[in-house]
A and B are shown apart, each in its own frame.
Chain A
Amino acid sequence: MNKLILITRPDFDHTTSYISYYAGLVMKKMDDQGIPYKSFDGKNAVRDEIHKFLLKKDPKFLFLNGHGNKDSIEGTKGNIIFDTTDKDLFKGKMVYARSCLLGQNFGKEIFQHNDGCFIGYVNPFIFFIDDTQSHPSRDKIAGYYLEPSNEIALSIIKGNSAQESHDRGRKAMLKNMKKLLLEENHPAGVVEALWNNFDGQVLFGDGEIRF
């Protein structure tokens, strides 16, 4: 197992564009800290290439961004990169999946009796965007959702345990909910959506594992 990170960043719609941009912010931190990683961006986020890399380089941490359902996660549009039949690939690995629903079955099925760990969501991962902003970097409202999720990956690369990283992500969401509630005219619906992600975030496997 190598102290190396595999990242997926498909980018073909609003959701993937935002989560890929935010994954890029984590990559900047990795650059600053000299932490090696390989990012499969856009149309390069395909199963064959990702599996090849995984088998050859054996990265310890997988930071997966993309659309998902309870059994599988996509790379680029329509390309399933992992599903529950890939169980053996994940032995001893740390996975954070910023994706919908994977915690319902994929995370549980693969990591419940595995010596690795999985952090993900049993609910759809949802967020508001401000349609008047032309780029994720200028969209303040999306940051309330995506910054706490970045906190999980940042905590893992800092060397905190899976449990600590899971807790930090949830704590950051609570902090943002409080911040929003204290705003006199906080936009309707935004706290509910953040609660959805908070309530749906799960950890399976070994909570003490570290990168």
Chain B
Amino acid sequence: MPQERRTPAKLDLLQGTLDLLVLQTLASMGPQHGYGLARRIEQLSGDEVLLNQGTIYASLVRLQQRRWIAAEWGVSETNRRAKYYSITKAGKRELAEETSYWARLTAVVGRVLAPSGGSTK
């Protein structure tokens, strides 16, 4: 099933990847606001992902539309009003599926690229 959703366009893959990162972050850290998510993803990726933090909001809208995350206004530890996102049950299911798909995909791509990758270095 998940393969069907993967169109070869580069943009889709990036978009899907960001969605996956958001879901994973919410699953492992609990409810987060937009900035927290962006910051967390930057940290986890060792600041390797050059994230335009604004783009995370399109992803959040999309995930809400799909009912994979829920949003709620809350108060931060610094007493600031912020919107908090949390992963839903459907979101957890999706995350599990996507993670296994991702693992398979990267394994395959890794295998295919390995020999030539080695020789160019």
Q: Do A and B come from the same complex? A: no
- Which residue numbers of A lie inside 8 Å of B, CB to CB? none
Binding site for A on B (CB under 8 A): none
